[in-house]
């Protein structure tokens, strides 16, 4: 090997060593990273190029620390593939009291989302360990200084001890003075207890005599006629009590609700009203009587209306949990319907779906149009509470299929409920006579 080759190899080796040194000292890496910016009020001496740890695991480096206004911006370089959640805590950590500083990240929760490349987060400005320790030492020194001061604290403590001593002496004196009265009170309790024991013994003796037929009361109890009279009196008293409970149950058992339903038909460009009374003789069953499609027939119509106006509803209904069934006269003709609460909202709200069928033998012309199919309605109500609901429905689906919007108001009338209860009691009495 000639000299030129040796020099060339030496230069190549030197360049390789120089590149390696530059690579190591320059903090270069073959890994890929993404930036995250943390904003602090004070970084407490955090050095540039310090490590970044997530839950104690190193995931990157601090690349830059700069001041922007009254804030300190720290640029972090985080390894690709490491997920940091948005509610994670960023703060300056320390390996010990006098140890090196690093960027500490306490991981958050997945539900908060993931921090993306270039996002800025708010850092935690809690005191680092060294500053917290310094503050604690300062407070301890202040306390010691106060104890060593002009003696005010010592005098106050001495006065407090003296007051406690006087209070203890007063309590001892009070107990000594009250002791005779307390002993007398206990003796009285013993006397009362003895009298109660004698009274109980006399009562037991009296009951024993009655059971044996001794004395006037015992003789009466031995008399079979007296026993029958007493038994009849007890039976009559029981029947009277049951009658009173039945009367009260009838008076308070009735529940009456006024019902008003307002319906708007966009095609007709008008509205109809249903007004009636819902009567609950007991839970789970009701009667409904009212007027349907109430409208002033003298009003000028804006569109074609196929509803039969000013008719009567008379229904019998059953409430079975979430379901409700009813049948009777719907808008003046025979019909039936069902409602079902799809899901609940709170105690009495929810979403209800319903369907009705009526006028099954329909075969006539209404407002110039011939109808020969039964009427079927279906809709959905959003019940806000037990008194108010709103919804949408499709009426007469087999013929016109019109969309209607409606609201319903239901409120209890306690006065009418009480009146119906009294009427039912009167009717029961008249029937009994």
Write the DSSP string, 157-219.
Answer: HHHHHHHHHHHHHHHHHHHHHHHHHHHHHHHHHHHHHHHHHHHHHHHHHHHHHHHHT-HHHHH
Whether pLDDT at 210 is above 80 = no
Last residue of a domain, one of 132, 161, 191: 132
State the Cα–Cα distance between residues 292 and 98, nearest whole angstrom.
Answer: 87
Residue 249 domain-assigned (yes or no): no
Residue 242 domain-assigned (yes or no): no
State the pLDDT confidence band at 298, using cuts at 50, 70 and 90.
Answer: confident
Whether pLDDT at 370 is above 80 = yes
The pairing of strands 388-395 and 375-383 is antiparallel
Residues 58 and 195 in one domain: no
SS3 sequence, 278-310?
EEEEECCEEEEEEEEEECCCCCCCCCCCCCCCC
pLDDT at 169: 73
Residues 115 and 181 in one domain: no
Residues 412 and 294 in one domain: yes
Residues 54 and 202 in one domain: no
State the Cα–Cα distance between residues 359 and 306, nearest whole angstrom.
Answer: 13
pLDDT at 378: 95
pLDDT at 430: 46
Least reliable range by pLDDT among 45-54, 166-175, 205-214, 242-251: 242-251
Least reliable range by pLDDT among 109-118, 159-168, 267-276, 358-367: 159-168
State the Cα–Cα distance between residues 107 and 25, nearest whole angstrom.
Answer: 30
pLDDT at 280: 84
Whether pLDDT at 19 is above 70 = no
Residues 5 and 58 in one domain: no
Highest mean pLDDT among 203-207, 230-234, 314-318: 314-318
Q: What percent of the chain has pLDDT over 90?
A: 31
Residue with tokens 């075969």: 363
SS3 sequence, 94-139?
ECCCCCCEEEEEECCCHHHCECCCCCEEECCCCCCHHHHHHHHHHH
Residue 137 domain-assigned (yes or no): no
Dihedral Cα 230, 232, 234, 236, nearest 10 deg: -150
pLDDT at 420: 58
Residues 345 and 388 in one domain: yes
Whether pLDDT at 305 is above 90 = no
> How far does CA 183 lie from the centroid of its chain?
57
Q: Assign residue 346 a region (left: φ > 0; alpha: ψ between -120 and 50; beta: otherwise).
A: left
For residue 61, what are the domain limits? Answer: 33-132
> How far does CA 384 lie from the centroid of its chain?
16
Whether pLDDT at 354 is above 90 = yes
pLDDT at 295: 82
Structure tokens at 153: 């604290």
Last residue of a domain, one of 82, 103, 132: 132
SS3 call for 155: helix
Residue, of 113 and 281, whose pLDDT is higher = 113
Residue with tokens 């109890």: 221
Whether pLDDT at 329 is above 90 = yes
Least reliable range by pLDDT among 68-82, 144-158, 253-267, 297-311: 144-158
Residues 83 and 206 in one domain: no
pLDDT at 337: 96
pLDDT at 431: 47
Say which residues have a Cβ less than 8 Å from residue 376's Cβ, sequence separation at least 6: 355, 356, 357, 396, 397, 398
Structure tokens at 75: 């640029």
State the Cα–Cα distance between residues 182 and 89, nearest whole angstrom.
Answer: 65
Q: Comparing C-alpha atoms, which of 180, 81, 72 is closest to residue 125?
A: 72
pLDDT at 127: 65
Q: What is the CATH number of the domain that holds 271?
A: 2.40.160
Residue 244 domain-assigned (yes or no): no
Task: Look over the chain and give the mean of its residue pLDDT values, rounded to a whole number.
Answer: 78
Whether pLDDT at 51 is above 70 = yes
Number of domains in the chain: 4
Each residue's pLDDT tens digit, 162-202: 776 776 776 667 656 656 665 665 666 567 667 767 766 77
pLDDT at 433: 45
Residue 430 domain-assigned (yes or no): no
Residues 263 and 410 in one domain: yes
Residues 18 and 84 in one domain: no
Each residue's pLDDT tens digit, 155-173: 666 676 677 677 677 666 7
Whether pLDDT at 314 is above 90 = yes
Residues 81 and 211 in one domain: no
Residues 63 and 162 in one domain: no
Each residue's pLDDT tens digit, 222-251: 566 665 665 666 566 566 555 555 555 555
Last residue of a domain, one of 173, 200, 222: 222
State the pLDDT confidence band at 48, using cuts at 50, 70 and 90.
Answer: confident
Residue 350 domain-assigned (yes or no): yes
Residue 210 domain-assigned (yes or no): yes
State the Cα–Cα distance between residues 379 and 395, nearest whole angstrom.
Answer: 8
pLDDT at 86: 93
Residues 52 and 72 in one domain: yes
State the pLDDT confidence band at 421, using cuts at 50, 70 and 90.
Answer: low
Each residue's pLDDT tens digit, 124-146: 876 666 666 677 677 767 666 66
pLDDT at 9: 77
Residue 432 domain-assigned (yes or no): no
Residue, of 303 and 286, whose pLDDT is higher = 286
Q: Comparing C-alpha atoms, which of 28, 32, 38 is closest to residue 81?
A: 32
């Amino acid at each position: 090997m000639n000299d030129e080759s040796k020099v060339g190899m030496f230069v190549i080796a030197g360049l390789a060593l120089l590149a390696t040194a530059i690579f190591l000292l320059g903090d270069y890496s073959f890994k890929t990273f993404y930036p995250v910016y943390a904003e602090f009020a004070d970084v407490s001496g955090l050095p540039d190029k310090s490590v970044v740890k997530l839950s104690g695991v190193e995931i990157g480096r601090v690349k830059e620390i700069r001041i922007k206004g009254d804030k300190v911006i720290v640029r972090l370089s985080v390894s690709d593939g490491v997920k940091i959640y948005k509610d994670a805590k960023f703060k300056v950590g320390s390996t010990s009291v006098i140890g090196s500083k690093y960027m500490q990240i306490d991981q958050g929760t997945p539900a908060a989302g993931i921090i993306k490349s270039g996002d800025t987060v708010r850092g935690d400005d809690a005191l680092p360990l060294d500053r917290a320790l310094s503050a604690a030492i300062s407070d301890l020194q202040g306390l010691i200084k106060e104890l060593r001061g002009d003696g005010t604290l010592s005098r106050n403590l001495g006065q407090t001890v003296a007051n406690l001593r006087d209070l203890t002496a007063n309590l001892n004196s009070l107990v000594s003075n009250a002791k005779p009265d307390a002993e007398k009170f206990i003796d009285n309790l013993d006397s009362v207890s003895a009298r109660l024991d004698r009274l109980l013994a006399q009562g037991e003796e009296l009951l024993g005599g009655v059971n044996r037929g001794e004395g006037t009361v015992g003789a009466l109890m031995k008399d079979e006629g007296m026993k029958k009279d007493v038994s009849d009196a007890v039976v009559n008293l029981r029947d009277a009590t049951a009658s009173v409970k039945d009367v009260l149950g009838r008076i308070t058992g009735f529940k009456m609700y006024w019902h008003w339903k307002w319906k708007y038909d966009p095609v007709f460009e008008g509205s109809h009203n249903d007004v009636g009374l819902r009567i609950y003789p007991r839970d789970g069953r009701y009667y409904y009587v009212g007027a349907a499609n109430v409208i002033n027939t003298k009003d000028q119509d804006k569109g074609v209306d196929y509803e039969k106006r000013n008719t009567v509803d008379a229904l019998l209904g059953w409430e079975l949990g979430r379901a409700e069934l009813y049948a009777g006269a719907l808008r003046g003709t025979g019909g039936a319907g069902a409602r079902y609460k799809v899901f609940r909202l709170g105690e009495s709200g929810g979403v209800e779906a319903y369907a009705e069928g009526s006028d099954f033998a329909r075969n006539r012309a209404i407002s110039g149009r011939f109808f020969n199919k039964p009427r079927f309605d279906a809709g959905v109500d959003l019940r806000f509470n037990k008194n108010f609901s709103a919804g949408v429905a499709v009426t007469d689906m087999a013929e016109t299929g019109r969309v209607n919007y409606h609201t319903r108001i239901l409120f209890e009338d306690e006065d009418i409920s009480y009146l119906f209860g009294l009427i039912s009691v009167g009717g029961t009495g008249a029937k009994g006579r």
